[in-house]
Amino acid sequence: MELSHLPVMPKEVLDLLGVSRGGRFIDGTLGLGGHAELLLASSPEVQLLGIDRDGEAIRHARVRLERFGDRVRLVRGCYGDMAKFAAEQGWDHVDGILLDLGVCSGQIDEPGRGFSHRFDGPLDMRMDRRSPISAATLLNENSEEELGRILREYGEERHARRIARAAVERRQTKPWERTLEFAEMANRLGDRRRGGVPPATRCFQALRIAVNDELGQLQKALRIAVILLRQNGRVVVISFHSLEDRMVKHFFRAEAAACVCPPELPVCNCGKKVTLRVVTTKPVRPTDAEVAENRRAASARLRAAERP
Ligand SMILES: C[S@@+](CC[C@H](N)C(=O)[O-])C[C@H]1O[C@@H](n2cnc3c(N)ncnc32)[C@H](O)[C@@H]1O
């Protein structure tokens, strides 16, 4: 994995997490340790638990963060299980949680991982290579209906059914194995009119989300964040596509609501508690200067919420 990954919106992340005061933080998407390094360097009072499901990312981050000694602990696993990992450290509450979603540029640019529709490689896309289900498994074993659902829901591809049908037809003679074969078919049959984004981009995103259960992980992590954060502790989430950003926005809004009674009830009797305060009413976007330096930042949207 190449090591040039620049952390997205670094200043905004540090400010919103309030790391200069020190405390216990979880970086649920450690990656190459870019954000983690900034957090640890911003105060000698910061302790960090870094989680990543990718063994290679953990190896790189371990070297990068070595100088922080026992202020940093790294775990290979899913951020959806962060409560368990925190408990293993003896942490019952934390001051901040960071999720910088998706994959690192190093993972995308490595043809052998199968994340990119631009390079020939195996149809893999597993962030954790110990997981039994790859993109090829999905394409070769799922029903036409399920494939269509994945491409439509996670890729927002209008011609999802047509691609799913062709995928199932083709595997009768030759199982799916290579990225470029699937990319060619997606680009030939997909909706080419949508915003200049090649259909293969959307279909690869869909398969990646399904292979790694990305939305299930995010939902689980958000629920756990509410329990793990101490008073005034914050959760910061950086998303790169609208499905994730929508999930974060709706979750924060629902937790921040003081009442869920039907509007026709004259007096509130729902007993709903406010469990989060929204800190960013609108998503924070990177500056033009950052995007010029770091293309990956272009689609980033950051949202933060605080435990009251
Ligand atoms: C965009 S990168 C993070 C980059 C990091 N913030 C940095 O500055 O170097 C996202 C990382 O999250 C990891 N990841 C994605 N989903 C995960 C999950 N559910 N559990 C743990 N790690 C996950 C990926 O393997 C990847 O290394």
Q: What are the chain's domains?
A: 10-106+214-306 (3.40.50.150), 132-211 (1.10.150.170)
Buried/exposed code over 170-183 (b: 16+ C-beta within 10 A; e: otherwise):
eeeeeebeebbebb
The binding-site residues of ligand 1, defined as CB within 6 angstroms of any ligand atom, are 5, 7, 29, 31-35, 51-54, 57, 78-80, 100, 102-104, 127, 217
Which backbone phi and psi does 291 adopt, to 5 degrees?
A: -65, -35
Helix (H, G, I), strand (E, B) or coil at 218: helix
> Residue 278 pairs with which residues in a beta bridge?
305
Pocket probe for ligand 1: among 6, 30, 109, the residue whose CB has the most ligand atoms within 8 Å is 30
257 alpha carbon – ligand 1 mean position (Å): 30
Q: How do residues 42-88 score in pLDDT, each as one tens digit?
A: 999 999 999 999 999 999 999 999 999 999 999 999 999 999 999 99
98 alpha carbon – ligand 1 mean position (Å): 10
Residue that the structure tokens 């003081």 belong to: 258
CB 207 within 8 A of CB 150: yes
Q: How do residues 220-249 score in pLDDT, each as one tens digit?
A: 999 999 999 999 999 999 999 999 999 999
270 alpha carbon – ligand 1 mean position (Å): 38
Atom 8 of ligand 1, nearest CA residue: 34
pLDDT band, very low/low/confident/very high, at 296 (cuts 50, 70, 90): confident
pLDDT at 4 over 60: no
Query: Which two structure tokens, joined as six digits, stand for 118?
Result: 């631009």
Q: How do residues 94-116 score in pLDDT, each as one tens digit?
A: 999 999 999 988 888 889 999 99
178 alpha carbon – ligand 1 mean position (Å): 24
Helix (H, G, I), strand (E, B) or coil at 99: strand
Atom 14 of ligand 1, nearest CA residue: 29
